[in-house]
Amino acid sequence: MQAAPAQLTIEPEEFAPAQPEPPPPKEAADEPAAAEARGLGKDFQLRLDLNFQGTWVHVSEAERAAEYLGMKPEDWHALPEPPERRPQPD
């Protein structure tokens, strides 16, 4: 007769999935700065008039347009008159 095989014990913890580590707590003061760095909370709305003479935006949106488009705005009220003396696009 053969000897009975040795009994093995199974520990359920060995086969349990690993528990994910909880994320570190965030400080409330860091959240607005982090959101701003990701562009959250910014107003990306911009109304443009594009034509052959140039790109036109309302004065209230000039700063935002300059940032997004990488262009320096010019105040059309300050351009020389008559229009023939104004700088022409290349």
Kindly indicate the confidence band of residue 10, based on its pLDDT and cuts at 50, 70 and 90: confident
3-state secondary structure (DSSP) of residue 10: coil
- Decide: 71 and 63 in contact? Cβ < 8 Å: no
Domain spans in the chain, listed from the N-terminal domain onward: 45-90
| Paired tokens of 79 | 């351009």
Alpha-helical (H) ranges within 1-90 are 12-15, 30-37, 62-69
Q: Tell me the pLDDT tens digit for each residue of 64-82.
A: 888 888 888 888 777 778 8
pLDDT score at 36? 64
- Decide: 58 and 52 in contact? Cβ < 8 Å: no
Q: Tell me the pLDDT tens digit for each residue of 17-60.
A: 888 888 777 665 556 666 666 666 667 788 888 888 778 888 88
pLDDT score at 25? 73
pLDDT score at 85? 79
The region of weakest confidence among 2-6, 30-34, 41-45, 86-90 is 30-34
> In 3D, which of 81, 77, 67, 73 has the Cα closest to residue 54?
73
pLDDT score at 58? 86
